[in-house]
C-alpha cells in the first residue's frame, strides 16, 4: 500500500469544491505521549485512517501527536473505534468544529516532526506535564469576570485579528515560538495575578502554561479544549459567549464563526470583513483578509501585480516563479506591503 497521496493536490481540491455539501465532520485532537518509533507509528496510522477515507494533517513526534482532520460523518464511530484502540489515545477528547461546511481538507497527510508544535523550548529544562489548571466554559467565564484575572491569547497576530476573547492580551507575533517570550515579558510584573491562557484547540497552552509556571507565575489556568470546545459548551449550556468574531483555523475553511461580530477589516479597502484567503497567484499565496468586492476586483489576488501575473499564460507564470524560493509564507501572513488596511486590536492590550 502507498503510504502517501499520489494524486495532485490541485485536482483533489477541485473535486472537493465541486461537491455541494460533503457529508464530513471536521475535528482536531492532540496528546503529549512518548512515542518510541514515530515513523512506525505514522505508517500504521496512515494505513488505518486512509482505509476509512480520513483526510487532514497529522503531526507525529517522539513527544506525541497533533491532528486536524475530516472524517466521513457516517464513518465517525468507526474512526473513533480505531483511534481509541490505540492505548494512549483511548478516550481522547475530540474537538468537533463548530462551523463546518465539510470542506476543510482534501487529502491525508501524516508527517513525522521533531515536535508536534514548534515552541522553541528545551523540554529537558522544565516539567512539561505540570501544566495550568484546565477550565471549562462556565469556569472560564467566572474567572474572567474577576478583577485580578488576565486573559492571554497564545495565538498569532493574524488569528487574533479576526477574533479573540473580550479584554484579552493579544501579542503581535507571527509564531508561537515568539509568543512565549513576548507574553512572559508583558506579564513580568504580574506573576501573582490569575493568568488564563487560550488557543485554538488547547495544544499550545499545554506547553505554554507549564512554561509560565516554571518561570514563577503562581496562578496559571488554561482553557480546556481551546476556543473550539469553549464555543461548543457555551452553545450547549446557553451561557454567555465571551469570544467575539471568528476562530481562525488551519484548514481550507480558514475560519469558523463564533459570534456575529466582525472586528477586522478588508486589507485592501478597509471595509468590515473577516474572511481570510490566500492570494491566487501561485508565486505568492499571501494569506490576507479580502472582502467579496475586492476579490472580484483583484481576481482573488492580493495586488494589481499578482492579478497581472495571474492573467498571463500558465507557462509564463511558471517561468516567472522558477528558481524562486518562497520560503515559509507563514512569516508574511498579514505583513505584506500589499496590505493597505490593518485592523487595530485596541481591546488586545493590558
Query: What does the pLDDT read at residue 285?
Result: 86
Classify residue 316 as exposed, middle or buried by CB count within 10 Å of its CB (0-12, 13-18, 19+): exposed
Nearest to 28 by CA among 150, 155, 202, 162: 202
Query: What does the pLDDT read at residue 43?
Result: 96
Q: Judge whether 138 and 238 are in contact, CB under 8 Å.
A: no
Q: How many CB atoms lie within 10 A of CB 89?
A: 18
Blockwise average pLDDT, block size 10, the chain, 350 residues: 61 67 93 96 96 97 97 97 97 95 94 94 91 97 97 96 96 92 95 97 96 96 97 97 97 96 96 95 90 97 94 91 59 69 59
Would you please indicate which residues are annotated as catalytic (active-site) residues? 199
Q: What secondary structure, in 3-state letters, does the chain show?
A: CCCCCCCCHHHHHHHHHHCCCCCEEEEEEEEECCCCCHHHHHHHHHHHHHCCCCEEEEEEECCEEEEEEEEEHHHHHHHHHHHHCCHHHCCCCCEECCCCCCCCCCCEEEEECCCCCCCCCCHHHCCCCCCCEEECHHHHHHHHCCCCEEEEECCCHHHHCCEEECCCECCCCCCHHHHHHHHHHHCCCCCCCEEEEECCCCHHHHHHHHHHHHCCCCEEEEECCHHHHHHHHHHHHCCCCCEEEEECCCCCCCCEECCCCCCCECCCCCCECCCEEECCCCCCCCEEECCHHHHHHCCCCCCHHHHHHHCCCHHHHHHHHCCCCCCCHHHHCCCCCCCCCCCCCCCCCC
Burial pattern 284-307, b for ≥16 Cβ within 10 A else e, equals: bebbbbbbeebbeebebbbbeebb
Domain assignments of the chain as residue spans, ordered by start: 9-112, 127-237, 264-350
Nearest to 195 by CA among 259, 150, 248, 130: 150
Choosing among 3.30.750.24, 3.40.1410.10, 3.30.70.100, 3.40.190.10, the CATH entry for 9-112 is 3.30.70.100
Query: What does the pLDDT read at residue 327?
Result: 47
Query: What does the pLDDT read at residue 153?
Result: 98
Residues 100, 250, 130, 171, CA torsion sign: negative
Query: What does the pLDDT read at residue 5?
Result: 65
CATH number of 127-237: 3.40.250.10
CB neighbour list of residue 344: distance below 8 Å, 6 or more residues apart:
none
Query: What does the pLDDT read at residue 16?
Result: 65
Q: Judge whether 31 and 17 are in contact, CB under 8 Å.
A: no
Residues 297, 300, 303, 307, CA torsion sign: negative
Amino acid at each position: 500500500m502507498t503510504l502517501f497521496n499520489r494524486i495532485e493536490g490541485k485536482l483533489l481540491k477541485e473535486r472537493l469544491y465541486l461537491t455541494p455539501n460533503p457529508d464530513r465532520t471536521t475535528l482536531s485532537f492532540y496528546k503529549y505521549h512518548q512515542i518510541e518509533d514515530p515513523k512506525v507509528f505514522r505508517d500504521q496510522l496512515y494505513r488505518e485512517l486512509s482505509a476509512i477515507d480520513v483526510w487532514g494533517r497529522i503531526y507525529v513526534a517522539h513527544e506525541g501527536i497533533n491532528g486536524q482532520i475530516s472524517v466521513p460523518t457516517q464513518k465517525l464511530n468507526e474512526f473513533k473505534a480505531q483511534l481509541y484502540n490505540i492505548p494512549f489515545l483511548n478516550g481522547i477528547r475530540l474537538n468537533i468544529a463548530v462551523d463546518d461546511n465539510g470542506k476543510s481538507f482534501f487529502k491525508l497527510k501524516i508527517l513525522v516532526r521533531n515536535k508536534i508544535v514548534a515552541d522553541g523550548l528545551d523540554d529537558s529544562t522544565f516539567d512539561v506535564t505540570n501544566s495550568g489548571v484546565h477550565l471549562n466554559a462556565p469556569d472560564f467565564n467566572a474567572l474572567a469576570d474577576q478583577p485580578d484575572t488576565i486573559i492571554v491569547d497564545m495565538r498569532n497576530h493574524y488569528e487574533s485579528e479576526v477574533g479573540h476573547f473580550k479584554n484579552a492580551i493579544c501579542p503581535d507575533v507571527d509564531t508561537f515560538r515568539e509568543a512565549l517570550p513576548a507574553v512572559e515579558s508583558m506579564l513580568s510584573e504580574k506573576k501573582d495575578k490569575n493568568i488564563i491562557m487560550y488557543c485554538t484547540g488547547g495544544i499550545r497552552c499545554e506547553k505554554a502554561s507549564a512554561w509560565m509556571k516554571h518561570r514563577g507565575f503562581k496562578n496559571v489556568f488554561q482553557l480546556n479544549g481551546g476556543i473550539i470546545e469553549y464555543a461548543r459548551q457555551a452553545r450547549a449550556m446557553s451561557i454567555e459567549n465571551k469570544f467575539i468574531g471568528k476562530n481562525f483555523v488551519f484548514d481550507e475553511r480558514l475560519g469558523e464563526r463564533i459570534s456575529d461580530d466582525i472586528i477586522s477589516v478588508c486589507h485592501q479597502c478597509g471595509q468590515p470583513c473577516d474572511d481570510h484567503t490566500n492570494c491566487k497567484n501561485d508565486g505568492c499565496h499571501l494569506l490576507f483578509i479580502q472582502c467579496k468586492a475586492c476579490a472580484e476586483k483583484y481576481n482573488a489576488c492580493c495586488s494589481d501585480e499578482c492579478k497581472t501575473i495571474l492573467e498571463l499564460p500558465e507557462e509564463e507564470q511558471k517561468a516567472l516563479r522558477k528558481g524562486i524560493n518562497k520560503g515559509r509564507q507563514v512569516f508574511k501572513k498579514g505583513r505584506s506591503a500589499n496590505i493597505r488596511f490593518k485592523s487595530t486590536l485596541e481591546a488586545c492590550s493590558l
